[in-house]
Amino acid sequence: MNTIEEKLWNYIDGTCSDEERKAINILIAQDEVYRRKYEELLALNQEFSKMEPDEPPMAFTYNVMEAIRAEHAQQPLKAGINKRVIKSISGFFIVSIALLLIYMLSTVHLTPVNISGHIPDNLRLPDIKNYLSKPMLEGFLFFDIVLGLFLFDAWLRRKDVLKQV
Amino acid sequence: MQSKLSDIELIDQTLAGNQAAYADLVKRHQRFVFTLALRFAKNREDAEEIAQDCFIKAYRSLSVFQRQSKFSTWLYSIVYTTAMTFLRKKRVDTDSIDDENTYIQLENSSLAHDINSAENKSRSYYLNQAITQLLPDDAAIITLFYMGEQSLDEIGKTLGIEPNTVKVKLFRARQRLKEKLEHNLKHEVKELI
């Protein structure tokens, strides 16, 4: 059940319904208690509206920007890698895998006889031994590990930022 | 001289690498953010620390700002969470809205002041004094509604509560503020209002 004050505050804030507003209009006009209370709350509301925010110290903006600059300076270089580089590398691998698949499938001659659950005899995988040497494989593996760690770090950073917000 | 660009335009410029644009955003919102922080911290040093922390957090998360609400609403929600974390660290109990024991000391100090000096003090002084005696939640809601000119919906988003709950809390906060004013000023409150 709303008290007189609660109804009047809703009326002043404009959060009451049309019917309630009309009813309160009549009460203010006819009821002395309502009228006095309304005038008191209205004066109080006007006083609250005049409140001024406090002034922070003069160097506040400077301090904030300095803190941000300091944070930027501490950022490791790997966090500054251009996203285009990452996208280009990803694109290279996707295209390579796609080409390899296309080549593999082009060597397969599917006939109804071949579709029997067995690997067709004429399926030939490209002889990758000719293309990939041991140092090349090691380099490839090392690159994958670095890329994996970078993505894991980026994920952890994003999680940390969201947690702070 | 503050920028006349909108908050969103300044955010876009900041995301494009223009740090001066963010400095303009800070200048634009620093007074209110500091005041809101002061409602929780109760002293200027702590409020400054909270406000500064908020702007740094907002900068870090600017790219994840969804733009579905006003930048100020988003920023005030950061102030609220940062201030609550700060209070928790300081072990100040803000859980119960009815537990006013924490503020007895503040209230007693206000009682000690000379009532007769009312003529020499401005109205805003007494109002600010009464607000500092409120619980942080009450003071924050009053500040957001009157100073921040935030709607009930926006305050709800900032504090993570329903607009109807905000309405009830605002009503109670105003009642408490009125009581504090009456208590502090005794007879002068009639003149004040």
Q: Which domain does B12 fall in, by range? A: 1-92
- Helices (DSSP H) in A31-126: which residue ranges? 32-49, 60-74, 83-106
Q: Please check whether residues B101 and B163 belong to one and the same domain.
A: yes
Instruction: Give the whole-angstrom CA distance, residue B80 versus residue B141.
Output: 11
Q: Please check whether residues B47 and B124 belong to one and the same domain.
A: no
Tens-place pLDDT, residues A100-151: 888 888 877 666 555 555 666 666 666 666 666 778 778 888 998 999 999 9
Q: What total number of domains does chain B contain?
A: 2
Domain borders along chain A are 4-49, 76-126, 127-165
What pLDDT is recorded for position A83? 76
Interface of B with A (CB under 8 A): 19, 22-23, 26-27, 30-32, 34-35, 38, 44, 47-48, 51-52, 55-57, 59-61, 64, 78, 81, 123-124, 127-128, 131, 142-143, 146-147, 152, 167, 170-171, 174-175, 177-178, 192-193
Q: Please check whether residues B58 and B114 belong to one and the same domain.
A: no
Q: Please check whether residues B82 and B112 belong to one and the same domain.
A: no
At B144, which CATH number?
1.10.10.10
| Structural domain ending residue among the three candidates B92, B122, B152 | B92
Q: What share of chain A is helix, strand, coil (3-state, %, to 5)?
A: 70, 0, 30
Q: Please check whether residues B13 and B88 belong to one and the same domain.
A: yes
Q: Please check whether residues B30 and B86 belong to one and the same domain.
A: yes
Instruction: Give the whole-angstrom CA distance, residue B89 versus residue B108.
Output: 25
Instruction: Give the whole-angstrom CA distance, residue A163 versus residue A150.
Output: 20
Higher pLDDT, B42 or B80: B80
Phi and psi based region of residue B42 (left: phi greater than 0; alpha: psi -120 to 50; beta: remaining): left
Q: How far is CA A102 from CA A8, A114, A125, in A?
A: 76, 19, 11
Q: Please check whether residues B42 and B111 belong to one and the same domain.
A: no
Residue B56's contacts (CB-CB under 8 Å, 6 or more residues apart) are A64, A67, A68, A71
| Structural domain ending residue among the three candidates B65, B92, B119 | B92
Q: Do B26 and A71 touch (CB under 8 A)?
A: no
Q: How far is CA B107 from CA A31, B39, B129, B181, B184, in A?
A: 36, 15, 10, 11, 9
Q: Do A67 and B26 touch (CB under 8 A)?
A: no
Q: Please check whether residues B25 and B112 belong to one and the same domain.
A: no
Report how many Cβ contacts below 8 Å link chain A to chain B.
Answer: 99
CA A5-A8-A9 angle, 5° bins: 85
Instruction: Give the whole-angstrom CA distance, residue A73 versus residue A50.
Output: 43
pLDDT of residue A2 exceeding 80, the answer is: no
What single-letter DSSP state applies at residue B109?
A: H
Q: Please check whether residues B131 and B173 belong to one and the same domain.
A: yes
What pLDDT is recorded for position A50? 85
Q: Please check whether residues B108 and B62 belong to one and the same domain.
A: no
Q: Please check whether residues B144 and B123 belong to one and the same domain.
A: yes
Average confidence (pLDDT) over B155-162: 90
Instruction: Give the whole-angstrom CA distance, residue B155 versus residue A102.
Output: 58
Instruction: Give the whole-angstrom CA distance, residue A98 versus residue A92.
Output: 10
| Structural domain ending residue among the three candidates B92, B120, B147 | B92
At B55, which CATH number?
1.10.1740.10
What pLDDT is recorded for position B57? 93
Tens-place pLDDT, residues B71-99: 999 999 999 999 999 888 876 544 444 44
Tens-place pLDDT, residues B85-144: 988 887 654 444 444 544 444 444 444 444 444 444 566 778 888 888 899 889 999 999
Instruction: Give the whole-angstrom CA distance, residue B55 versus residue B57.
Output: 5
Q: Please check whether residues B140 and B100 belong to one and the same domain.
A: yes
What pLDDT is recorded for position B189? 56
Half-sphere exposure of A42 (CA within 13 A, CB side): 10
